[in-house]
Structure 1
Amino acid sequence: MAESSSTGIPSPLPMRIEHDLLGTLQVPADVYYGIQTLRAVQNFQLSGVPLSHYPKLVTALAMVKLAAAEANHGLGHLKTTKYRAICDACRQIIQGQHHDQFVVDMIQGGAGTSTNMNANEVIANLGLVSMGLQQGEYQHLHPNNDVNMAQSTNDAYPTAIRLGLLLEHDSLMSSLEMLCQALAGKGREFADIVKMGRTQLQDAVPMTLGQEFHAFATTLNEDLGHLSRQVPALLSEVNLGGTAIGTGINADPRYQHLAVEHLARISDHPLVPAYDLIEATSDMGDFVLFSGMLKRLAVKLSKICNDLRLLSSGPRTGLNEINLPPRQPGSSIMPGKVNPVIPEAVNQVAFEVIGNDLALTMAAEGGQLQLNVMEPLIAYKIFDSIRLLTKAMDMLRTHCVLGITANRERCSELVENSIGLITALNPYIGYENATRIARVALESGKGVLDLVREEHLLEEGQLTEILRPDKMVAPVQFLTSGNE
């Protein structure tokens, strides 16, 4: 509400009247969206997450509209004055301006029509202003006739989703690569620290703390490789030009290839026209596969965070082999307690991503015939997963991994007192002797090495050589012929 300068009483904001199929509405005069966007805002107050929450999706929408305008102008269907106005508007959005005008909820009915019209209306009104006209004067530049020329929501929207994901992909890959490097760095830093490996939460055999962290880096590097190689190819085939169901109705026969060529140049991504536009309009399989890859990454991150929490547990009554950087006090009642809050938060992000994958999978399955009307949920969930994973990996790297330190003495103590140490002696004293020594150690509380010495099963020089760190954590040539 505006305030009257004479009375101090609030007065109505300036409005403009717009009309559509259902009638007329008052639209705030200063906004760049129009009546169809306003109806969507009134209808879909669901997630509370507007399109503007994902800037790369908004940018991709503007790129699609710019490519369409260039193709239509080049084919002689869009007048130069309108073309220039649309180009000016799209470039402003691509540069990051006016994203706050993309106000429609990510979850919406209509298979994305509200998203497409939000873009069409904002671009039309920005274009009108650049022409020296007022918002809403659509007789000079129309959201449907001009901005949406030769398009349908059903080809413009999924093309923008694919392009938006490609634009987001770079950030995801950068965050994952830096996390891999940080974990590999810890692997090198801890390379000489011998500790006990564990299976089923029980003592297994010795390894180095460096090997453990190197394995974390390796498993994430696998995903880095898969995502780097597969995702660009997976998302590069677009159905722009298919219009309503893939038949290309209302588009010039030359439009599809020309529009996709322009979009590839504008976005700097190697986009190609879909081979079968009808299939490409209805099939969501690429999004399912991409989401599955994000879920796999989330599962691996969560497992690593579980391990970090276990390895740092204690500090007095747990494993306490590593120290995580303290980030905040851990209790409102227990003084001195510090919790592993960063790995815990990453765990929760992973659970969210796994849930997003299930929701996306159900949405992909929920399509019928020539269109999947659940595509807005697919877009929402996959963009959300990328955003969460990117932020979580950056947080894990900067607030946790880079500051991890090792408790060398604690690692050594656990190795020396572990029953699992007997496995390293098994090739030299035989399985039967090793089993008996392990049982006696468990029953008596004596150390494995003390019992081996008491029974003179190995010479001290042999023990020293066998228990060298480099001998226990990699394949070696046995010192004796084995069981005798």
Structure 2
Amino acid sequence: MSQTTERIEHDLLGDRSLPADSYYGVHTLRAVENFPITGTPISIYPELVRALAAIKQAAAQTNSELGLLDRERADVIIRACEEIRAGALHEHFVVDVIQGGAGTSTNMNANEVIANRALELLGHRKGDYARLHPNEHVNMSQSTNDVYPTALKLAGYVGIFGLIEAMEVLRAAFHDKAVQFADVLKMGRTQLQDAVPMTVGQEFSTYVVMLGEDIDRLKEAVLLIREINLGATAIGTGINAHPDYAALVCRHLAEITGIPVLTAPNLVEATQDCGSFVQLSGVLKRVAVKLSKVCNDLRLLSSGPRAGFGEINLPPMQAGSSIMPGKVNPVIPEVVNQIAYEVIGNDVTISFAAEAGQLQLNAFEPIIAHSLFKSATHLRAGCLTLAERCVTGITVNREFLRKSVENSIGLVTALNPYIGYANATEIAQEALFGGHSVYALVLNKGLMTKDQLDQILKPEVLTQPRAMVALR
């Protein structure tokens, strides 16, 4: 390789050559070689890259105001960070999402990319660190141990609100169906056995409420990750940082990101504690568990089309079998179920990683970050997919459901106040063992007239608390 196509950089382990036009440097190169784990670079999470750039921008602005960094260097660092926040250079954030070193490789990657872009803006070649250095200037007043967790919180904050928006879309889709099916009578079930009548609208309205509750819980949990430890530097004592740095950099970071971040009251505690990530992951697990339960319901209610429940119809999305012609499977609920299983597993990973922290630092925040971001990102995609490719297209089999109510043993519970417990028990026995319709048996025995039965079988009578209907 000619001298014009490579450059040499030096670190404590020695010299290494890099492509001359590479924005990352020797520390990133070693990390890429050391951690060939997932093959997935940190750039898969653009909000994390933007968060890192926002932190470096706030730091440069703060250090300049405190007289620690000259205006020329501060300006080009800020310009480079603004470009990255706008989406540039993300492909140069190449270290693996799972890495040793408590996130040091991610921080070094950011420092080097920003430094080399800043050098370009100054008119110097990449790697000319005597002019502007990744650690001495871009990383001034910082440590990985306050930069990395702060970046995770910023990215997590944005990601959670992205998930909340998707959940609102799904919630609205279920609400529309609850309204559409408000008058469709069906049998409710407990332990998969007939219980008492309800409407399909009531059934779908529960999903609206469940999603609303989880949205509220996410909004509560995300408040915890507004508290940052930027200014803590190595372990929380603030070594190598100006006394005014923590407060000022927090204010600038809030202005840059629009996120109302707060400096933790005890930076030593905040540097080692991953409790907010555990809390947030627990709420994501709650969302996943409940969303999976909803998908279980949709698959069960749509089972068939001839030999299952057959109460609702999910929109057909694709052929369901390579051997069974005409088979269509509930593929959208199935994929959301699998996302839920992944999120539950991610929560276990986050719990173990948070517990494994020792003394003044948790070295396992990279796997916490990867697991947390996967959970939020995949749940968001799952909610949107479920809403757009499943829920909005659901139809209901009205007549089938009406007949199932009339034939159900559970109907006798609704008729008990009118025909008496003894008669209701007798009707239930005959219907169950003789295969007869409850509706027909009541008519045949003269216990009620057709008009009286039809009056009681109205959804508004059967499906909510009210005084007994006065029969004509």
TM-score (normalizing by structure 1): 0.95
Work out whether residues 56 and 164 of structure 1, in 8 Å CA contact, stay in contact via their aligned partners in 2.
Answer: yes
Give 1:315's aligned residue.
305
Give 1:7's aligned residue.
none
Give 2:279's aligned residue.
289
Q: Which residues of 2 match residues 423-462 of structure 1 at below 5 A?
A: 423-462=413-452
Name structure 1 gaps, 5 residues minimum. Answer: 3-10
Q: Which residues of 2 match residues 229-244 of structure 1 at below 5 A?
A: 230-244=220-234
Is residue 220 of structure 1 aligned with residue 198 of structure 2? no
Work out whether residues 221 and 283 of structure 2, in 8 Å CA contact, stay in contact via their aligned partners in 1.
Answer: no
Q: Which residues of 2 match residues 281-360 of structure 1 at below 5 A?
A: 281-360=271-350
Give 2:60's aligned residue.
69
Question: Residue 192 of structure 2 is aligned with which of 201, 214, 221?
Answer: 201
Is residue 89 of structure 1 aligned with residue 84 of structure 2? no
Q: Which residues of 2 match residues 354-433 of structure 1 at below 5 A?
A: 354-433=344-423
Is residue 23 of structure 1 aligned with residue 14 of structure 2? yes
Question: Residue 258 of structure 2 is aligned with which of 257, 264, 268?
Answer: 268
Which amino acid letter does the alignment assign opposite residue 286 of structure 1? S
Give 1:53's aligned residue.
44
Deviates more, 1:425-434 or 1:34-43: 425-434
Question: Residue 160 of structure 2 is aligned with which of 163, 169, 172?
Answer: 169
- Over residues 325-372 of structure 1, what are the superposed CA-to-partner deviations in whole Å (9 max), with x where a residue is unaligned? 111000000000011100000000110111111111110011011100
TM-score (normalizing by structure 2): 0.97
SS at match of 1:26: strand
Name structure 2 gaps, 5 residues minimum. Answer: none
Distance 2:80 2:221 in 1: 30
Identity over aligned pairs, percent: 56
Question: Residue 280 of structure 1 is aligned with which of 265, 270, 289?
Answer: 270
Cα 1:133–1:430, aligned 2, differ >3 Å: closer, same or farther? same
| TM-fit CA distance, 1:428 | 2.4
Work out whether residues 221 and 279 of structure 2, in 8 Å CA contact, stay in contact via their aligned partners in 1.
Answer: no
| TM-fit CA distance, 1:30 | 1.4
Distance 2:44 2:296 in 1: 30
| TM-fit CA distance, 1:434 | 2.3
Work out whether residues 102 and 364 of structure 2, in 8 Å CA contact, stay in contact via their aligned partners in 1.
Answer: yes
SS at match of 2:87: coil
Work out whether residues 35 and 99 of structure 2, in 8 Å CA contact, stay in contact via their aligned partners in 1.
Answer: yes
Distance 1:12 1:86 in 2: 27
Distance 1:215 1:90 in 2: 46
Give 1:140's aligned residue.
131
Distance 2:39 2:107 in 1: 18
- Over residues 51-110 of structure 1, what are the superposed CA-to-partner deviations in whole Å (9 max), with x where a residue is unaligned? 100000000000001011111000000011110110111001000100000101111000
Distance 1:460 1:82 in 2: 88
SS at match of 2:148: helix
- Over residues 435-476 of structure 1, what are the superposed CA-to-partner deviations in whole Å (9 max), with x where a residue is unaligned? 332122111111112222333333444323222221011112
SS at match of 1:477: coil
CA RMSD of aligned residues (A): 1.5
SS at match of 2:410: helix
Give 2:170's aligned residue.
179
Give 2:459's aligned residue.
469
Is residue 111 of structure 1 aligned with residue 102 of structure 2? yes
SS at match of 2:16: strand
- Over residues 16-48 of structure 1, what are the superposed CA-to-partner deviations in whole Å (9 max), with x where a residue is unaligned? 111101111111211101000010100101122
Which amino acid letter does the alignment assign opposite residue 423 of structure 2? N
Distance 1:155 1:431 in 2: 70
Give 2:120's aligned residue.
129
Distance 2:417 2:130 in 1: 88
Which amino acid letter does the alignment assign opposite residue 194 of structure 1? L
Work out whether residues 196 and 411 of structure 1, in 8 Å CA contact, stay in contact via their aligned partners in 2.
Answer: yes
Which amino acid letter does the alignment assign opposite residue 205 of structure 1? V
Distance 1:204 1:134 in 2: 76
Distance 1:321 1:82 in 2: 67
Which amino acid letter does the alignment assign opposite residue 436 of structure 1? E
Work out whether residues 329 and 338 of structure 1, in 8 Å CA contact, stay in contact via their aligned partners in 2.
Answer: yes
| TM-fit CA distance, 1:13 | 8.9
Work out whether residues 320 and 327 of structure 2, in 8 Å CA contact, stay in contact via their aligned partners in 1.
Answer: yes
Which amino acid letter does the alignment assign opposite residue 332 of structure 1? S
